[in-house]
Amino acid sequence: MTRDPVAKLLLFGATGDLSQRMLLPSLYGLHADGLLPDGLTITGTARHEHDDAGFRDFAKHALDQFLPDDRKDETAIEGFLARLHYQPLDASNVDGFAALAEKLGDISGGLAIFLSTAPWLFGPTITGLKSAGLAGPKVRISLEKPLGKDLKSSQEINDLVAAAFPEERTYRIDHYLGKETVQNILALRFGNAMFEPVWNARGIDNVQITIAETVGLEGRAGYYDEVGALRDMVQNHVLQLVALIAMEPPARFDGTSIRDEKVKVLRSLRMIGPEEVNTHTVTGQYDAGAVKGEIVRGYDEELGKESDTETFVAVKAHVDNWRWQGVPFYLRTGKRMTDRHSEISIQFKPVPHSIFADRGGQLQPNTLVIRLQPEEYVRLLVMAKEPGLDRDGVRLREVPLDLSLTTAFAGTRRRIAYERLLLDLIEGDPTLFVRRDEVEAQWTWVDAIRDGWKANGTKPKGYASGSWGPNASVALTERDGVTWNE
């Protein structure tokens, strides 16, 4: 693709937690590896009253705290800090944007804006950028979630943004799309001849997607209690994984082709209405328990008040098209669970006839496991014969064929997802960003589930911290003869 790098990067929320943990270390990593354009300046803005020197000190402290030791290079750090500038700004006050524009100076070489602010600040921020001349044809903007809490509010935010930035200059971030293993889904599917012939309802029995966390609220109480697990995780990360697994082969690897195929999947999701929510969804909220040997409090106690917000959700979903007709997609995500991991498990259909049955050989369907975190690997479980003379029958066993990405690419540094996304923003590659029609298709499906919960008075079921969620989530799959991959 043709790259169109900008000369300036503007970070809103530059003194926040995301900036310290992810953005500044990611930008430093790109600088240290010589991947940032020569002369690119990075200007941070937030309410804090820093000057340039104060922000550089702040950034230096963040790098000291969050960079791995093997990545710390004093010369590279000094060079990176020299790129940094700062302008204090109250984004709710349009008048302050003139000073921000003056600080940025000439933007004729292109400006990329990373917007990570509270949702209620989107309107004033876009208005301020436009009034200060920071929304012209050479300016692109990236938006960090949350982008609304339902379809209506999402449309309102996107309309606000679209008034200043057309779709081709709007980059919506889902950081899961920057993960190396997520991108490897495309390489696995479309770079290997063996999978595509069976990647459909004739070859696949079911698909499972799990994003399990061991943490609780972790300082996000105010935000999380307003949204819950369905909107926080399923609406974006989980459904993006569904789209990548279920999409048709795109004509080429570019932003238009990839996103065209993803949105077709999202629009093909079967709606789950009030009649189906009790049989196709499970909600839960963690109680007190033990996680990794540590006693933890229940959600209400941690929050400090009673709440009906779900911290766990499991969904049986279907993609209604020719390729996936009749194949269930089991989706689940939760907090305070047994283990922290994100993975996709694809169970293939059994062989049509076992030649080993009369000799005592027991077959299991093949399973492909794509682990996204904390380890990164692709594992294909296949049947093999145990060594022996087989006088008492044939003994078959499931064995893994492993591709550990960490081992296979041991000489290549694993990058933070934001490194790729920030570089793509700077260079103008929209492939791994989410288009508006994708977001709206996701919200349409999620809103229907929430409306169904409301119509049925659905309340989350309690589950012990350190477990795999409510017992009802086990029944969700086992009534179909399927067991969650754990």
Can you tell me the distance from the alpha carbon of 147 to that of 83, in angstroms, rounded to the nearest whole number? 30
165, amino acid identity: F
- The answer on whether 150 is annotated among ligand-binding residues is no
Contact call for residues 313 and 281 (beta carbons, < 8 A): yes
Q: Check if 31 is active-site.
A: no
- The answer on whether 50 is annotated among ligand-binding residues is no
Contact call for residues 84 and 44 (beta carbons, < 8 A): yes
Question: DSSP of 353-384, one letter per residue?
Answer: S-TTGGGT------EEEEEEESS-EEEEEEEE
**Do β-strands 204-212 and 328-334 pair in parallel, antiparallel, or remain unpaired?**
parallel
Can you tell me the distance from the alpha carbon of 145 to that of 38, in angstroms, rounded to the nearest whole number? 30
Question: DSSP of 123-157, one letter per residue?
Answer: HHHHHHHHHTT-SSTTEEEEEPSP--SSHHHHHHH
- The answer on whether 280 is annotated among ligand-binding residues is no
DSSP state of 96: G
- The answer on whether 168 is annotated among ligand-binding residues is no
- The answer on whether 220 is annotated among ligand-binding residues is no
Can you tell me the distance from the alpha carbon of 313 to that of 159, in angstroms, rounded to the nearest whole number? 30
Cα angle 279, 282, 288; round to 5: 150
- The answer on whether 196 is annotated among ligand-binding residues is no
Contact call for residues 25 and 67 (beta carbons, < 8 A): yes
Residue of 271, 270, 303, 273 whose CA lies nearest to 285: 303
Can you tell me the distance from the alpha carbon of 112 to that of 30, in angstroms, rounded to the nearest whole number? 16
DSSP state of 273: -
Tokens of 154: 């999402």
For residue 145, what are the contacts with CB-CB under 8 A and spacing of at least 6?
Answer: 172, 173, 174, 236
- The answer on whether 156 is annotated among ligand-binding residues is no
User: Residue 32 is inside which H or E element, if any?
Assistant: helix 24-32
Which one of 50, 237, 318, 353 is the catalytic residue?
Answer: 237
Can you tell me the distance from the alpha carbon of 469 to that of 214, in angstroms, rounded to the nearest whole number? 11
Residues taking part in catalysis: 237
Q: Which residues are annotated as a binding site?
A: 47, 145, 175, 179, 213, 232, 335
Which amino acids are annotated as binding site for NADP(+), given as ranges? 47, 145
